[in-house]
Structure 1
């Protein structure tokens, strides 16, 4: 099995949702999410909702993307000091109406907020669906309506009010939204828009939503009551370059025709398609930053020659440090290193200094001492000349030698590569 990251599919982390089945906790993720992620070329990695996982997120590296989706209401302590002025009676009524959503899961909050902030800090592609969009907004300093019906709908005209959740027609319920022009959502659904109109119908499974949108985000779609149903960060959106930060309040993956897997609109799966495109690009970017050139595998003869050269350099280094004494190496022991250096004469100043410090430029003790003295005299003369130069002249000189150093470095690499090939032939 290959361990080369370049041939491993990118990994998308998805936090599971906890449920109870046969009196036991069960973690799950909606299958539609998994199908789309796999279908577009990534691997979903499920992060279990268990205590302490938010402290172990490093164990899920490498992280190429994060998809956060369904779940309960987010603990309001993450974004507000009070309960938006709602009375105790109103809060109890909300809990009765939305019993499955109002059971706060603080552990899931911690895991998902940690992941969202990680994505924002490291520019990891992030797609938030429903609760995932709310997590993204809260992670960036935004706030939520505790209950849309109690805080927003009550202030709207009858013609503007929207039913954001319908338990009697859970998957079939749709409501109208208006798409903002020149946003990603507009590009995905433009072929489905009627001429002169910007409206589509979306599904809806929520009683909370964005109240104050975090400053970095731009709305992409509004419900008739003014609720923001989708947003993105325009400065962090370029899927081809691995950039994708977005939240959608509705569920495009579940917008399908009755008793069918056919989507309501061709643009429904595009959020996942572009998200995975960004994930793939992000993985490639990470691989290019972390890839290490594999060492050249030497045959037996070349390995013997390499060891002789290394030993020659080591002896030269000891000679450089300790000077010639009773246990000084023989001239023949230094010849291998000398021959190697003589075949590679185009050294940059930096490379010459590095080799000098290692003692690798030593042909014999006498010639090394003479060369060292000569270099000291040259350095002294150079310092005297440079002391009389202007700042502009020194800057030009520095630029010139920097360019020459780059050229020498390239030539040296070519020569060393040629030497290795010669040794192998």
Structure 2
């Protein structure tokens, strides 16, 4: 039995996590991410925050890369001041994940950004973010759902050609698109829900929702097919 392509997934870094008799700093990831990779036919490898200068070496060992969801991107990365509802910075994670994204783009490694990961992809290519929108995270700690519609002819449309209802939990969104990026799905309120980089360097897609919280493996299957 083959293990399938090796798909790296970035992780959270949290201080003082308690489990059993322990309370220690931890790197962690919701189990839905590796489950989705396995279901799509890949082998998951977790990538905790590290020195940005080793990102290229890490990506060189991967067949594909997923940048996971998480805290707000620090606005300094897109030339803005923090808004009143922007969360505290995760500077080590920002630096690491931006370096991973740039390394994946440089090497043409298939890349999927999820929620924060989509926003970081946009920022890595010079785009900006809306620091707060309403209606996409109704109850703290509870995923909502809303429909997203693909843009015909896009990479996302090729993977998921129909309108679907998706699990959502975010309060920031893409504003100005980064260089070369195009929108590939929208919510009913006009929010950009997916972005992609057509053509070379390779399969590059970001989605604003959380496919790891659903049972549809098509996005990850499309990434794995591109490895």
Instruction: Return the alpha-carbon distance in structure 2 between the equivalents of residues 81 and 175 of structure 1.
Output: 29
| Residue 216 (structure 1) aligns with | 180
Where do 5+ consecutive residues of structure 1 fail to align? 1-6, 96-101, 150-162, 194-198, 238-242, 256-262, 280-425
Q: In structure 1, the residue corresponding to 2:224 is in which secondary structure?
A: helix
Q: 2:54 aligns with which of 53, 56, 71?
A: 56
Cα pair distance change 1:168/1:29, threshold 3 Å: closer
Give the number of the structure whose residues are more often strand, by fraction: 2
| Residue 222 (structure 2) aligns with | 274
Pairing of 1:8-407 with structure 2 (within 5 A): 9-19=4-14, 20-22=16-18, 23-49=23-49, 52-60=50-58, 61-83=60-82, 86=83, 91=84, 94=85, 102-149=87-134, 163-167=135-139, 170-171=142-143, 173-190=144-161, 193=162, 199-236=163-200, 243-255=202-214, 263=215, 268-279=216-227
Contact in 2 for aligned 1:236/1:245 (Cα 8 Å): no
Contact in 1 for aligned 2:40/2:217 (Cα 8 Å): no
Instruction: Return the alpha-carbon distance in structure 1 between the equivalents of residues 155 and 191 of structure 2.
Output: 18
Instruction: Return the alpha-carbon distance in structure 1 between the equivalents of residues 172 and 207 of structure 2.
Output: 13
Where do 5+ consecutive residues of structure 2 fail to align? none
Instruction: Return the alpha-carbon distance in structure 1 between the equivalents of residues 3 and 166 of structure 2.
Output: 35
Contact in 2 for aligned 1:222/1:228 (Cα 8 Å): yes
Q: Displacement of 1:165 after TM fit?
A: 0.3
Instruction: Return the alpha-carbon distance in structure 1 between the equivalents of residues 116 and 158 of structure 2.
Output: 24
Q: Displacement of 1:275 after TM fit?
A: 0.5
Instruction: Return the alpha-carbon distance in structure 2 between the equivalents of residues 56 and 210 of structure 1.
Output: 28
Cα pair distance change 1:273/1:77, threshold 3 Å: same
Note the alpha carbon deviations across 1:185-242, whole angstroms, 9 max, x for none.
Answer: 333433xx4xxxxx432221111110111131121111233210001122148xxxxx
Q: In structure 2, the residue corresponding to 1:203 is in which secondary structure?
A: strand
Note the alpha carbon deviations across 1:141-197, whole angstroms, 9 max, x for none.
Answer: 111011124xxxxxxxxxxxxx100226813x212333212223333433xx4xxxx
Greater Cα shift, 209-218 or 9-18: 9-18
Note the alpha carbon deviations across 1:279-337, whole angstroms, 9 max, x for none.
Answer: 2xxxxxxxxxxxxxxxxxxxxxxxxxxxxxxxxxxxxxxxxxxxxxxxxxxxxxxxxxx
Instruction: Return the alpha-carbon distance in structure 1 between the equivalents of residues 115 and 192 of structure 2.
Output: 12
Q: Displacement of 1:58 after TM fit?
A: 4.8
Instruction: Return the alpha-carbon distance in structure 1 between the equivalents of residues 65 and 140 of structure 2.
Output: 32
Q: Larger relative CO (CA 8 A, sep 6+): 1 or 2?
A: 2
TM-score (norm 1): 0.48
TM-score (norm 2): 0.86
Give the root-mean-square deviation of aligned CA atoms. Answer: 2.3
Q: In structure 2, the residue corresponding to 1:212 is in which secondary structure?
A: coil
Q: In structure 2, the residue corresponding to 1:136 is in which secondary structure?
A: helix
Q: In structure 2, the residue corresponding to 1:133 is in which secondary structure?
A: helix
Instruction: Return the alpha-carbon distance in structure 1 between the equivalents of residues 57 and 3 of structure 2.
Output: 17
Instruction: Return the alpha-carbon distance in structure 1 between the equivalents of residues 47 and 203 of structure 2.
Output: 20
Contact in 1 for aligned 2:167/2:209 (Cα 8 Å): yes
